[in-house]
Chains A and B, each alone.
Chain A
Amino acid sequence: MTASFFNLNATFAVELAVFVIVLAVLARFVIRPLQAAMRRRQAEIDQSLAQASRVEELLAAAEADYQATLDQARREARQIIQTAQRMADHSARQAADQPGSAVPVPTGGQRAGV
């Protein structure tokens, strides 16, 4: 046996075969499935993020809608109160104008203050 590190021999073929087997097994049974799983997970994450932003938009729209409805309700309430006040003032004035009525009628402003 000669002492040399340049010892290329038939081992080469065995090494090549072992590597090809390892490559085939790992690529087929480990790497491809893992790649598929990674892509699936990435798709799920993307979908979740898209959904989250859509939910955020919906929430913002709902909040704006709620605020608008509330504003309108307030406006209507104020209008109703004003109308009621006017009507009360009107009927109070009518009652005061009628002679013979001894009972003092409270004004609309006082009633509204209760």
Chain B
Amino acid sequence: MTTQLTAAEEVLSAGAGHRVAVAGFEFNVDTIVATSAAGLIVILIGLLARRGQMSARPTKLRLAWETVISAAERHVGSRLGGAGHQVVPLAVVLFVFVLTASLLETIPSGHPDKALPAPTGDLNLTVALGLFVIIAVHVAAIRARGWRGYLRHYLRPIPWLLPLRVIEELVKPATLALRLFGNIFAGTVMVILIFELIPPTIAPLPLLAWKLFSVFVAVMQAFIFALLTVLYFDAAVAADAIEPPPDQPSPVPSTTGGTNP
């Protein structure tokens, strides 16, 4: 019973790690260190990929990046027009960064209090990412439709659905942030539970199985985060969702007009 209580306590504070208060503000040091590490790793891998002649035969690392980029370009397609230009880098960076951050946890440290906890298991990172994406989506929507078109779309298809449309917009960042957080945090909780509740002699076996599954979860969650980002942009600025106001020309670039079959 005491073991389970300790486990419960440990589980609840698993995402936070060490905390430091500076000038009245509280910082989760482990999360910041891990996020910076993930950021540095991703930037390093990126700079390594673009090293050398760009016209020469691409290296395997560059091909890996190009695979992600062309996948993002395929999902974005030509429907987004000018906004698509910004969405592809955002989707690619979200996928690579979230994946790297989540995978930090699978590095074995031989201790449940991991050397580097997954920063995606801390609400601070996932909420930051979710808010960033949603603000970018709304900015893109206002740019594409203009203020009037943007505000009017809350009244579609029926004006009295307005409360639901507003709730929908508020829920989007929350689901983005909580889905990623929940999945990765659950992984952390499972590792702690395996250590606490299973005898050390056989603990490595379920731990290995769980860590392998965590890799799959990390890839899945990074993909879902990036894909939902693209879909939100698509819903906000796609050419067919915009009706040009009668008094002014369509804000959609003329290049998107050719995509209709």
* Closest-CB distance, B74 to chain A (whole angstroms): 12
Complex contact A18–B39 (CB within 8 A) = yes
Complex contact A29–B46 (CB within 8 A) = yes
Contact residues, A1-24 vs B (CB, 8 A):
1, 3-12, 14-16, 18-23
Complex contact B69–A22 (CB within 8 A) = no
Q: How large is the interface on A (under 10, 10 to 19, 20 to 34, 35 or more residues)?
A: 20 to 34
Complex contact A34–B42 (CB within 8 A) = no
- Given contacts A15-B119, A27-B93, is CB(A3)–CB(B12) below 8 Å? yes
Complex contact B47–A30 (CB within 8 A) = yes
* Closest-CB distance, B71 to chain A (whole angstroms): 12
> What is the interface size of chain B, counting residues whose CB is below 8 A from a CB of the partner?
50
In the complex, number of A-B residue pairs with CB atoms less than 8 Å apart: 133
**Among listed B120-128, B143-151, B205-213, interface-contacting one:** B120-128
Could you list which residues of chain A lie within 8 angstroms of chain B, going by C-beta atoms? 1, 3-12, 14-16, 18-23, 25-27, 29-38, 40
Could you list which residues of chain B lie within 8 angstroms of chain A, going by C-beta atoms? 9, 12-16, 19, 22, 25-28, 31-32, 35-36, 39, 42-43, 46-47, 49-50, 54-55, 58, 62, 65-66, 69-70, 73, 88-90, 92-93, 96-97, 119, 122-125, 127-129, 131-132, 185
